[in-house]
A and B are shown apart, each in its own frame.
Chain A
Amino acid sequence: MTDALRSHKPIQTLADIPEYEGLWSWVTSIDHKQIGIMYIGSALFFFLVGLALALIIKIQLMFPMNRFISQDFYNQTFTMHGTTMIFLMAMPLLFGYSVYLTPLMIGARDMAYPRLNAMGYWIYLFGALLLWFSFLGGGAPSAGWFSYAPLTEKGFLFDPGVTYWCLSLLVMGIGSVGTAINLISTILTLRAPGMTLQRVPLFVWMVLTTAFLVLLSFPALNAAIVMILFDRELNTVFFSPSHGGSAILWQNYFWFFGHPEVYILILPGFGVVTEVIPVFSRKVIYGAGFLAASTVAIGFLSFGVWMHHMFATGLGFSVLYVFAVSSLLIAVPTGIKVWTWIATMWGGKIRFTTAMLFATAFVIQFTIGGLSGVTFAVIPLDWQLTDSYYVVAHIHYVLLGGMMFAMIAGAYYWFPKVTGRMMSETLGKWHFWLMVIGFNGTFFVMHILGVVGMPRRVWTYPYGQPLVATLNLVSSLFAIVLAGSILLFFWNMIHSFFKGKIAGPNPWNAWTLEWATSSPPHPENFELVPPVHSRRPLWDLQHPDQIGKGGHH
């Protein structure tokens, strides 16, 4: 029995949990909720850092031939922006959501391996600090987040930046694989009685798929990173064509990891939206079977599409056919999800809370990103548009307009569960509308910039291209709105953390198990796990007459 249970003092905020008092309790914690919060907190911190880098980029690109920052610093900035946002922000954010929510949603007390869980977090934090230490250690990496060989060879980039990049990603990759194994084990072995795999919440199902993708793709990246390290430090020549190595080989390794990585990032976002939309439409998810199966299909297909990042590298046509078909095919299971979300809203009684607004905007923006993605599968169009600003627009529609909008929907949805307090809906709506305007204003015009020939990763662009100059200025101005909206989000979180309305166990009248315990949950998670007869155990508690009728697997 924990102190909290013994005292019978109702838990209303994190301050009511004596086990969470003091810094030491967090540093030494193996509680999945504390580790989840630390993951999310660190990710949000690096979100601000990555945002600051993005603003530097946008200021530099405001005017043609601008010299706001030097070319070298610009190259470090965009490399660190990409690496920070992917590995220091997005990955820990999704791990934070996953390790916090998974045990609660399946009615477990903790993760299968709580110590491995803690190790995953601390190893990530170490890797993150190592990457940023590079600024003090002789220069940040400047080979892009993709670090194409042979630019990464010491002959081309002598500064230690790329070495820091390698070591940091290597360490974090090991932690990620550990966390993936932990999530898989947890979901496969610790589900509450009655919760078959068909009855796990779809968020958990997507986390399971994601964890398999992490498990299978990160080792490829780590192996390749060791090769760059050896090339740089031990004079091996894996990726050095002038000595018989291969430049293309690195691209194959990197994208064999890199494309599944895109789905690693987006699948938990799909999961969040798949929880949020039904609750605020007051309707069961539509076509759950197709949704679950399409997730697995995406998982498999994601390992067979990596060469669509390399369509302009002059590969043989036979291999291009295969990867064109697989890249087109992956749009089918992705499309299924979009139709499913719409069909869930259709016929519902929709409450447009901030969480629901973000989920709705996610569907629209992700569809734009998905459709511009289909364009890359149509190889001749890829030949035109790859490595142009069109791709910058595309990835930000998928990862910021898609993944991050979903994660923010999740933040508004689960903030009451994690902290015990509601976030401000008024501030939330301001945040939402400003962010929609800022995001689309910043990134939509980038499609056009690609069309008029602006390549990616450029420090500056020449005079004499009026449209390029105008659109860059427009994009930069909207980026300020976007940044402001994100600061509003942080203010909302901080303010609500201390002053928000007390939420109670289930403020949204939701149906999955995490809402069956106090907000925040006490360290043991549940006093009693309700019986599980379907994907919506709390709905069943309210409608005992309907148990076993219709689709309850």
Chain B
Amino acid sequence: MDITNAHLSNIFAFATEQARSIVYLHYIDMAVCFVIMATVLGLLTAAAVKFRQKPGDNTDPEQYEGNLKLEITWTAIPAVILLVLGILTFLVMHEVNPAIGKRKPDVVVVAKQWWWEYRYPNSGVVTANELYLPEGVNSLLEINSGDVVHSFWVPNFGEKMDAIPGHANFLFLKPTEKGTYTGSCSEYCGAEHSLMRIVANVVSPEEFATWQQNQLKVPAPPTDKDAIHGQQIFMSETCVQCHAISGTPANARIGPDLTHLSTRKTIGSGVIENTPENVALWIMNAQVFKPGCHMPQMRLTHKDAHDIAVYLEGLK
């Protein structure tokens, strides 16, 4: 798949302001943990070396049962350290995920077995599996689920947020660096969990506006012979019962919207590269690429599948 130029996932390579705050807190936490670990390891090693039984020495060492001052100290010092961590926790929580008040979401994310629907309520764009966010703008994402519990996680963006059926969650993301990022569903959601990937593109606000305009265009009817044939099959087969294409009678919202499929880099929620041949193979039997997925084996000839692919990829 052509997302090879995507940034490598790493929680420390922050790409949003929110992730940056979390990473700084992480450094503090790691420093504390390393100091404690070093203390434990140092003391244990010292004890193991220094107080090892000498050969032939079978006498018992001095028996002392404790020292109240020392015991209070090793109770109090960790408590103070943890209290400081607690205060930092509260501060960063508020910075990363402040109250939303009456603000409307910029993107509505609907997680479904096993793909992602992205809706942009301000413009009316509905797309699937590839998220676009403008650089430098603090976008509010509403995270929903259409079936079971999922979780939206792009490591370089910071916070992950569960998609819970019947309960909307919210997430702020203010990207600081353009590029393509990958992530994946992080709550076990059934058969296809490992193949429910996320592709997120951060673009300049201008590019974002252009992208939205293009996504809203109603594609012209096909003119190519194969594409016309493909459209006929698409509209007469079960495809229309799950998928939508604007400007046509296909308007179902069960599977991904296919209006601007050609603009996506991958199909099957990040599983394979988006090429006409891959789309044809996917249409014939998606189970090969995503065993267990809800797209059935279509029992079409390769010619028919190829024509549908030509039709879908030609929609502009």
Contacts and interface: CB of A to CB of B under 8 A. Distances in A.
A288 interface: yes
20 contacts: A70-B291, A150-B148, A313-B169, A324-B89, A345-B51, A349-B52, A349-B57, A350-B53, A351-B53, A367-B36, A368-B37, A371-B33, A378-B88, A380-B25, A383-B159, A384-B159, A386-B160, A386-B186, A451-B11, A455-B186
Contact of A375 (B33, B53, B164, B191): B33
B292 interface: yes
A477 B75 CA distance: 40
* Interface bin, chain A: 35 or more
Contact of A321 (B43, B82, B90, B192): B90
A281 B291 CA distance: 57
A491 interface: no
Nearest to B164: A247
Interface stretch (A106-114, A191-199, A336-344, A436-444): A336-344
Interface string B140-158: 0001000111010101001
Interface centre among A71, A248, A360, A380 (most CB of B within 10 A): A380
Contact of A381 (B25, B66, B74): B25
A241 interface: yes
A346 interface: yes
Contacts of B79: 329, 332
Contacts of A332: 75, 78-79, 82
Given A331-B82, A378-B25, A360 B44 contact: yes
Given A156-B113, A289-B66, A380-B22, 18 more contacts: A71-B291, A150-B147, A151-B190, A247-B167, A248-B167, A282-B53, A283-B64, A285-B65, A312-B161, A313-B162, A335-B78, A343-B66, A349-B60, A350-B51, A378-B85, A380-B25, A384-B11, A456-B186
B167 to A, nearest CB: 7
B20 to A, nearest CB: 11
Query: Sorted from nearest, which 3 A-B pairs have the closest CB atoms?
Result: A453-B9, A241-B166, A314-B169
Interface in A271-292: 281-290
Contacts of A379: 89, 92-93
A458 to B, nearest CB: 4
A247 B166 contact: yes
Interface in A289-328: 289-290, 312-314, 317, 320-321, 324-325, 328
Nearest to A461: B194
Contacts of A378: 25, 29, 85, 88-89
Contact of A452 (B8, B44, B168, B192): B8
Interface of A: 70-72, 75, 142-144, 148-151, 156-157, 241-242, 246-248, 281-290, 312-314, 317, 320-321, 324-325, 328-329, 331-332, 335-336, 338-339, 342-343, 345-352, 360, 363-364, 367-368, 371-372, 374-375, 377-381, 383-388, 451-453, 455-462, 464-465, 467, 550-551
Contacts of B99: 317
Contacts of A281: 51, 61
Interface string B183-209: 111111111111101000000000000
Given A289-B66, A364-B44, A384-B26, A371 B60 contact: no
Contacts, number: 278
A545 to B, nearest CB: 13
Given A70-B291, A456-B188, A350 B47 contact: yes
Contacts of B195: 459-460
A459 to B, nearest CB: 4
Interface centre among A285, A455, A458, A467 (most CB of B within 10 A): A455
Contacts of B162: 312-314
B54 interface: yes
Given A386-B160, A452-B9, A551-B65, A317 B93 contact: yes
A157 B190 contact: yes
A384 B8 contact: no
A241 B70 CA distance: 53
Given A290-B66, A331-B82, A283 B74 contact: no
B236 interface: no
A375 B148 contact: no
Contacts of B212: none
A363 B40 contact: yes
Contacts of B169: 313-314
A380 B95 CA distance: 10
B124 interface: no
A455 B151 CA distance: 10
Contacts of B3: 464
B10 A371 contact: no
